[in-house]
Every structure is written in C-alpha cells, then in structure tokens.
C-alpha cells in the first residue's frame, strides 16, 4: 500500500489553534478542546493511506485543483492529494456550518 506524506499548511495550523481556543476559552471546555484536536490529528494522519476515499469539493476553482473534503465531527478538513509527489496537503480546517465557499475564496491561497 502506498503511504503519503502529510503536510499541514500554516493556515490549517492557525485554523486548529482558533478551534482549540474557541472551545477551550469561549466555551470554557479545555478537555473537549483537547479531545477535538486529538480527533483531528488521528483523522488527518489517517489520510496517509487512501486519501482519495473522501469526496471531491464540487465548486470551482477548487474542484479542478483536486480539493477533497473530510468530515470530522462538526468540522471539515480540506486537503489536496498529489499522487505523483505522494503528498497530502491539508489547506484548511473549519466549522461545517460556515459559508465554506466564501471562506475558501477569501482566506485560502494555493
């Protein structure tokens, strides 16, 4: 089985920090925040095998760039697998209830 390397963008790292801070400080649930980060870590690390198993993002220009969407609880992880380089690039992580297209178009650069 082919094993992919996982790369996490600076923006995705910032997303994780923002999610943790919101749950830990705004919602005053640091234990839940820590367990949420652990679930993200487990799911993202599992992308090293069969990264194509999650659906492609349907809207352009992201669809033609190979963007895929992995649900994790109430959040979504956006990533692009590269078969030639054997790399999965995680580009964003956000709450599923947000205006996803607006957030991707406004705050994400490839």
| Domain boundaries of the chain, sorted by first residue | 5-107
pLDDT along the chain (110 residues), means of 10: 94 97 97 98 97 95 95 97 97 91 75
Interacting residues of 83 by C-beta distance below 8 A, sequence separation 6+: none
* CATH number attached to the domain at 5-107: 3.30.2310.20
pLDDT of residue 48: 97
pLDDT of residue 58: 94
Tokens at 67, concatenated: 């963007």
pLDDT of residue 88: 98
pLDDT of residue 107: 67
pTM of the model: 0.92
Residue 90 CA to residue 49 CA, distance in Å, equals 14
In angstroms, the Cα distances linking 6 to 29, 60, 72, 81, 95 are: 29, 24, 17, 9, 21
Contact by Cβ (8 Å): 5, 86: yes
């Amino acid at each position: 089985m082919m094993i992919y390397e996982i790369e996490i963008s600076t923006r995705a790292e910032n997303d994780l920090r923002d999610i943790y801070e919101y749950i830990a400080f705004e919602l005053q649930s640091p234990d839940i925040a820590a367990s949420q980060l652990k679930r993200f870590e487990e799911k993202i690390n599992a992308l090293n095998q069969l990264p194509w198993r999650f659906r492609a993002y349907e809207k352009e220009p992201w669809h033609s760039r190979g963007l895929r969407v992995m649900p994790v609880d109430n959040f979504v992880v956006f990533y692009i697998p590269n078969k030639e380089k054997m790399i999965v690039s995680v580009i964003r992580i956000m709450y599923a209830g947000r205006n996803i297209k607006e957030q991707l178009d406004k705050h994400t650069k490839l």
